[in-house]
């Protein structure tokens, strides 16, 4: 595998069932990627195009990367994360070459998901100085996606951003990233699912997951994971002192609930 610090490859061991909530996102992923894979005869019959990419956007920590990884698990695809910001930091010419190499690596390892983190890094509005570099990189990305440069069969392209309004509109035209899908903070049901998911390897007793979910409105998935870790830490610390390894209980969440704050509010305020 030809990888380096700009591209990271992994085999995913999470699945869509691990992802709490996000019903609309799952539906979209199914329509765009999973259903066509499972129903090639229907794809043929309707002449459905399969190669377009998807942009996930929303506040940090709400599971954009997590669900992309889960899709990889579901398809049994290699998961490649690419940092466009890092590519953009290279010299003009170098960046395009690197991007091409990345696509080629992914093409050699299909089925593969190419996940572009921080797609906004090549947004138009952010920096005028870098603009010419960005333009050539955007064009290169479009070429690769249009498959001018190679065969994209078995290649699934997803991108994530916290700044959807910074995305170059050329990238959003049909045939490219033609769907822009919101990934927003989890609702009550999803929060319960996420809390349970993050408690899955921990012995716990009498934890009122429903009540904790009620008290954690506007928490991101990452905030909830952090909350659970904080409660685990309370018990872990105690067990170091007492030598007794008891189960995590509801009271262990009291202090963490006072300390962990929802991180998504700021994003919505800046988005207004
Ligand atoms: P960023 O914009 O900062 O890159 P993101 O939206 O990509 O954030 P993730 O990195 O996917 O967020 O989420 C961070 C962590 O929060 C995940 O690794 C996972 O542990 C947890 N998490 C987030 N959403 C969910 C969810 N729906 N179900 C289960 N866990 C979740």
Segment 68-115, tens digit of pLDDT = 999 999 999 999 999 888 888 888 788 899 999 999 999 999 999 999
Instruction: State the Cα–Cα distance between residues 171 and 101, nearest whole angstrom.
Output: 20
21: left (phi over 0), alpha (psi -120 to 50) or beta: left
pTM metric for this prediction: 0.90
pLDDT for residue 1: 41
- Is the CB of 160 within 6 Å of ligand 1? yes
Q: Which two tokens stand for residue 238?
A: 């105690």
22 lines ligand 1 (CB under 6 A): yes
Instruction: Quote the mean pLDDT of the chain.
Output: 89
Output the CA 256–ligand 1 centroid distance in Å.
19
End-to-end CA distance of the chain: 43
Kindly state if the Cβ of 56 falls inside 6 Å of ligand 1: no
Tell me what percent of the residues of the chain surpass a pLDDT of 90.
59
Separate counts of helices (H) and strands (E) for the chain: 12, 6
Whether residue 80 contacts residue 9, with contact meaning beta carbons closer than 8 Å, is answered with yes
Most confident of 213-217, 261-265, 266-270: 213-217
Out of 8, 19, 63, 218, give the residue to mutate to test ligand 1, the one with the largest number of ligand atoms within 8 Å of its CB: 63
């Amino acid at each position: 595998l030809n990888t380096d610090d700009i591209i990271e490859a992994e085999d995913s061991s999470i699945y869509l069932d691990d992802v709490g909530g996000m019903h609309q996102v799952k539906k979209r992923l199914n329509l765009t990627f999973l259903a066509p894979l499972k129903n090639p005869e229907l794809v043929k019959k309707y002449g459905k195009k399969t190669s377009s990419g998807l942009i996930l956007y929303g506040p940090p920590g709400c599971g954009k990367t997590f669900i992309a990884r889960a899709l990889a698990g579901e398809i049994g695809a290699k998961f490649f994360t690419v940092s466009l910001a890092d590519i953009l930091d290279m010299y003009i010419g170098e960046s395009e070459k690197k991007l091409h190499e990345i696509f080629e690596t992914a093409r050699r390892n299909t089925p593969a998901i190419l996940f572009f983190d921080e797609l906004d890094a090549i947004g138009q509005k952010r920096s005028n100085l870098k603009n010419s570099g960005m333009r050539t990189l955007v064009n290169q990305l479009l070429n690769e996606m249009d498959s001018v440069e190679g065969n994209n069969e078995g290649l699934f392209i997803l991108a994530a951003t916290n700044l959807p309004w910074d995305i170059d509109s050329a990238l959003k035209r049909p045939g490219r990233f033609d769907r822009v899908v919101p990934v927003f903070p989890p609702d009550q049901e999803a929060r319960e699912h996420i809390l349970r998911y993050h408690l899955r390897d921990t012995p716990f007793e009498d934890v009122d997951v429903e009540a904790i979910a009620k008290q954690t409105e506007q928490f991101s998935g990452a905030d909830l994971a952090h909350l659970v870790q904080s409660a685990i830490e309370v018990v872990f610390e105690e067990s170091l002192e007492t030598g007794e390894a008891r189960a995590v209980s509801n009271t262990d969440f009291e202090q963490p609930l006072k300390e962990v704050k929802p991180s998504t509010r700021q994003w919505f305020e800046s988005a207004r």
